[in-house]
Chains A and B, each alone.
Chain A
Amino acid sequence: MWESAALSVTVFLPLVGAAAIALIPHAKERSAKPVALAVTLATFALSLLILASYYLGPAGGQGRAFIVDVEWIPVIGAGYRVAIDGISMPLFVLTNLLTLLCVVYCFHHIEPPGRPRAFLGLILLLQTGMAGTFVAFDLILFFVFWELVLVPMYFLIGIWGGPHREYAAVKFFLYTMFGSMIMLVGFIALYFGAGAETFSMVELSQAAAGGEYGIVFQRLVFLAIFLGLAIKVPMWPFHTWLPDAHTEAPTVGSVLLAGIMLKMGTYGFVRIAVPMLPEAAVDYAPFLAVLAVIAILYGALCCMAQTDLKRLIAFSSVGHMGFVMLGIAALTTAGVNAAIFGMVAHGLITGMLFFVVGSLKHRYHTSTIADIGGGVLQTTPRIGAILTFVAIASLGLPPLPGFWGEVVALYAAFNPAEAIVDAGLLGLFRVLVVFGAIGTLLTAGYFLTMLQRVTMGTPPRRWVDAGLQDVSPIELGAWTPLLVTTVVVGLVPLLVFGITRPDVSRILTTALTG
């Protein structure tokens, strides 16, 4: 019973919660917050239970567990197939953790026009979509969850966003929608390409490993799927929706967007693109790696020119996701491990960065660096200290999590998969390592400049007089778990590496050696 129901309950509980919140009468709008908190708390507790029983149960911490496989749309061979394995687990737990903290944060403030009922309902809906994406083992189901995410995020940006919210929301929606439609074409091609005519990810991966797909077919389909995933990641040069969306989105929207939604793209590479189209993945790996390194350098350089804090962090995400993609492009266990570690690290750290910047914006009513004018360490010392810590974590200071993701990705790129070496591309990858390492320097450069301009120095007169409130208990409640997790994951990287390694190893071995 627990085995078969746990995942579905955890994924759909927020959906039920969203429905329940929708039923709350208008007059009792305020009670939406406790309801949402209870739902996300329960969801997070359930996901921790799943994590625990994944280790203590028969799975023993590797392979797929909590498998459910029932008919859903038999006529096209789509099933309700969910399961969880070492690759999904960290992202699944992270999703539920971040959503919980977002709901906690909503007790502090919600951007105008307020309306907690609608806001929290959408967040819970978003949670179902995000969590579902990470546990779906059927391409159609995956796609449904994948698309489910778009709608609430569209409304979050479009209703609660900044001054240019409509433009950002529409751009976000249309751009990612465009990518995912082409990705759907790729999925359908996979369906017909395999003799089995199924959408089951497991069976398709086996078919791919068995050499069902010809190389030309693989290359075409990879391009289609690549486009959908790359827009979501976002990889250079498909990233232009991201800064707009982040700049305009409400704090919580930014946190979830950066913290979870970007990972859906990279997760798709690990779960779908590489195992199902292994030969094409090898062929395209150098392109992925080059794009990744361009993203690293380019994101960092763009950051230097930014005048808005949220936009700066958005561009830093481009760079960080570049490291993740570099790890994936190496196509080795170490690389994919590093990528997943990088995803978790980025989710924790950048999520936290958006929280802090959101709180700054709430106090200063602007996120423009020049308008804040420095001296945050004096006006609101604790927020300043937290911002300093998180920025330093984000620039990859060891032993915080960002470092492990980056350095192991570089290591993986230095020693890429045999197939890449056989193609004579070892030299290219090793050159990319050097450029990637230079990216860490640029990252440090813009983050420190940002800190200097925001936290240090003496604050402008008007902010001193404004009597800004330092960190509130609610904010502290939302942030402390994130900060603690950041430090713990950094100090004990085993927490993530240990979960992911067996399954990453299994997937890659199956895919690349048949």
Chain B
Amino acid sequence: MAAIYPLTFAALLFSVGVYGVLSRRNAVLVLMSVELMIAAVVVNLVAMNEIVATQMGDPLLTGQAFALFVLGIGAAEVGVGLAIVLLLYRNRANVNVDDAELMKY
């Protein structure tokens, strides 16, 4: 059960990401933390594919294929996220997520 290692790694990585998202005030750092969580998911996908392939005899690399998709979309997402952060900066001269509460009530 070698898969336990990458899964544990992924869980830790994800936790770091969650921590970052919840605790950081800087939008860029929050974005980076989100990236960490995505990376954790990618690791998870690859690890899970290993389990599925060995135990059920699935020859297809479903997990890896999804991982590639997620990486691609993740890149796009970073682009959008950074664009939002840039706009936020341009409007408010800071990127503190606590101050961005236009959607309040």
Q: Is there a contact between chains A and B in the complex with CB atoms less than 8 Å apart?
A: no
